A and B are shown apart, each in its own frame.
Chain A
Amino acid sequence: MSTDTAPLDGALASSETHITPTKAYAPSGIRWRMMVTIAWRMMFHNKLKMAGTLIGVVFAVVLSNQQAGTFLGLIKKNTMFVDYSGADLWIVSPSTLTLQATKPMGISALYTARSTKGVAWAEPLLYGGASIQLPAGGTEPIQFVGTAAPRYAGGPWNVVAGSKSALERPNTMIFEDSERERLGGLNVGSIREVNGFKVNVGGITWGLLPFGPSFAFAEYELARRMLKIDSDQTHFVLIGLEPGANPEAVKKAIMERAPEVKVVGREEFRSMIVSFLLRRTPIGITFGTSTVFALIVGFVIVSLSMFSAVVDNIREFGTLKAIGATNGDLAKIVITQSITFALMGSLIGLAAITRIAAAIRSPKLGVLLPTQMLVGTTFIMIGMCVAASALALLRLRKVEPGMVFR
């Protein structure tokens, strides 16, 4: 029976009629377990507040990953040509800052490369802007690539209709699938006019859409004529090394023999492109700012929620302190809650962003979510939530156990 009027006389009569105080104090492990239990109970007791805090973390996870993933997607779009070119080294003109149409350089660099020890192959590459005449009138820009047969280094990849070998046929080009409608609904076998030349569509690629006009490929000689480049000039030279060759040594050897050009490795060229994007375009600032703002907004929401949770439970914290818990114990509660919010919010947020990324994935917009970024996000969220609990921790330090009597 447990009513208010239960007769308690005798109930407390026990054999414990002499008090022997003990100064036993729970070891760290037991205190941690207890504080973790209290932390979780407090969190789940107020589900509305918990949902509010989680929304803050999920918002930060989804938005920051969406922005960072889109940024990585754009970087990937701009560096994929270098990644898929198959070249270990690139000969470029000294003024080259990124992969873009530059002033042509002498073709002698190609022969210099081919006669350098350690070089397995070297091929010229033309890279410039062109325009395609649309059937209904008007023109559209394309990123024109001239690649030399039969290796087609820097040539088309992801060919989904026709074949790369179609470029061997006269006046034949390969275009990008995702831009077919924009380029006038072209198909394999269509005829189009590019830079004033009638060309046949010999193949279609998928996903070869940089941050700008889509790639269109032609055999080197055709491209040279269409871009009006002299036969003794080229834009780039792509180099494949012999197995075991030292890239740095080959690079040095070529530059000694052809001081008028610059030789860069694949990774170096990638870095140059990324650096160009970050420094010379607003991409870095735009995406960086929105990623940071997503984190700041999440930080503020979590910070205020956790502070408010401490204020709401201030009497309970005061009671815990009065009955023997230390500031360290109360900090364990808040830190446990912040880490739990971070892990739960990251789990929900990452599940959401991976589904969103899959749903919106297209050649035009790719949200890249590498595993390292997803794992890193979780750690960043833990750091953010623990930092966000600083206000709450400061408030807890000021909790006087004596408040329980007021």
Chain B
Amino acid sequence: MGIDFEKLGWGASTEQETVSSDSCHFRSMHKALERVGGGHVPHAAVEEMAVKVAPEAEVLKTSGERRTTKVVKAVLKGMMSHLPTYAMPTKDNGREWELHALEAIHEGSDKGGNV
């Protein structure tokens, strides 16, 4: 039996972490100014613009990461259907999967196998 990625939650977008900070946005703004060959722009104006643009940049980042994750999971989907199913959880029984996985580890360990 193959793996149901929808059940796994792999078909859906995952939560993305937000790593950007104010200083990161400020740096991005500065770099962009360098790229476009900007002249003298007051520090306060740069900061203000960075704060203004930051939310949109965050949205682009989050949606971009989600899209990328979806594409990657779509690529992996075919492969996953050929893998052993004992370690495969459904979204609802992740705990059960963990136990299966650990059992597998211990079994291998007992046999002195590839663990």
- Report if A and B associate in a common complex: no
A residues with CB within 8 A of B: none
